Amino acid sequence: MRAALIVIVGLVVALAGCSSSTTPQAPRADSTAPVIAPGRPGEPAKTLSPSEAATAVPADAANAADIKYVQDMVVHHRQAMDMALLAPNRAESAKLKSLADRIQAAQGPEIQYMSTWLREQEQKVPEHHAAHEGMPGMATPEQMEALKAAKGKDFDRMFLQLMINHHLGALKMSEQVLAGGSHIKIEELATDVNVTQSAEIRRMQEMQAAL
């Protein structure tokens, strides 16, 4: 009996030790540890004090820069979709056709997301062929007609040149809203556009060099 009691007591002590060593500690509200805040594209990360971090969270309210970015990007994405839809029947490169499919798969849902967001903000969703004079990277009507008429390698060359310029325009627009916008969802969207389209630009430049 005494030996059994010793074993039981030993197990209880051991379990208590495991419990106390593995239970995660909740973060303290009065922590003084610094917070690392990622910088905007092209900028280094910043070290913030807890008090600075508390006020550094992006707002959930839209400003004029957010609204303009989303309205313009809806029009911008729609033209990219129009260009990508031409690829299956006109492109020669299988890689280009695959890229066009990925562009449609990414930008189609983004158009829906942005349109819904604009309605939630009680803002107008642009018409499909809304004016886009001065919008970075947009192909002119003449360039779009020439692309529709091209086939084979001629189409591939023209598509890559126009789409690279188109993506560069989207990066410029995204950088502008990241600098001047205030809505957290639009900051997340613009950051995602930057990452996705930067990678696609590199891929298209490689394809362009191989033609």
Set out the domains of the chain in order of their start, with CATH numbers.
Answer: 64-126+140-210 (1.20.1260.10)
**Kind and range of the H or E run holding 36:** strand 35-37
Q: How far apart are CA 108 and CA 99, in angstroms?
A: 14
Give the pLDDT score at 128.
Answer: 78
Q: What is the DSSP string of 89-132?
A: HHB--HHHHHHHHHHHHHHHHHHHHHHHHHHHTT-PPPPTT---
How long a stretch of residues is the chain?
211
Give the pLDDT score at 17.
Answer: 46
Answer left, alpha or beta for residue 137, where phi above 0 means left and psi between -120 and 50 means alpha.
Answer: left
Give the pLDDT score at 129.
Answer: 73
Dihedral, CA atoms, 88, 96, 77, 59, nearest 10 degrees?
A: 140
Q: How far apart are CA 175 and CA 191, in angstroms?
A: 8
Give the pLDDT score at 38.
Answer: 52
Q: Would you tell me how many other CB atoms lie within 10 Å of the CB of residue 68? A: 16
The whole-number mean pLDDT for each consecutive block of 10 residues of the chain, a chain of 211 residues, reads 38 41 41 52 58 51 96 96 97 97 96 98 88 87 97 98 98 97 97 97 97 90
What would you report as the CA-atom Rg of the chain, rounded to the nearest whole angstrom? 26
158-172 b/e (C-beta count within 10 Å ≥ 16 → b): bbbebbbbbbebbbe
Give the pLDDT score at 125.
Answer: 96
Which residues does 101 contact at the CB level (< 8 Å), separation at least 6? 84, 87
Residue that has been written with the tokens 């309205």 in this structure: 71
Q: How far apart are CA 123 and CA 82, in angstroms?
A: 24
Q: How far apart are CA 170 and CA 80, in angstroms?
A: 10
